[in-house]
Amino acid sequence: QVQLVESGGGLVQAGGSLRLSCAASRRTLSSYGMGWFRQAPGKEREFVAAISGSGVSTYYADSVKGRVTISRDNAKNTMYLQMNSLKPEDTAVYYCALDFGVAGSTRAYTYNYWGQGTQVTVSS
């Protein structure tokens, strides 16, 4: 199995920044697409960003495009989500996920492994 562990969440004021990390146990990480999703209280889990195995291709939800950057360092078995200009609407539990497909995907059901989540809270 693949284990994913998120970190970097916390409390930040509106307009601030956070950098989330996702460490994976899989060493051949370049073979797998990865993504970030989030879930706020009372809402469904929604797509945030995705990245292909090589890191060349990236995808963003319209709600975060221009404010977040997804990246990965396969040598360190780690994926990142840099978030800037944070808004209270960004408050949610953020999950990283790994897909057996190499291209990356915006759809949650295509992902095979999920982390436990990290809380991001943005105060107004």
pLDDT > 70 in the chain, percent = 100
Looking at the DSSP assignment, which residues form a beta bridge with residue 41? Answer: none
pLDDT at residue 115 greater than cutoff 80 = yes
pLDDT digits (tens, 9 = 90+) for 59-96: 999 999 999 999 999 999 999 999 999 999 999 999 99
Strands, DSSP E only, in 61-115? 68-73, 78-83, 92-99, 113-114
pLDDT digits (tens, 9 = 90+) for 23-33: 999 777 788 99
**What is the rounded average pLDDT for all residues in the chain?**
95
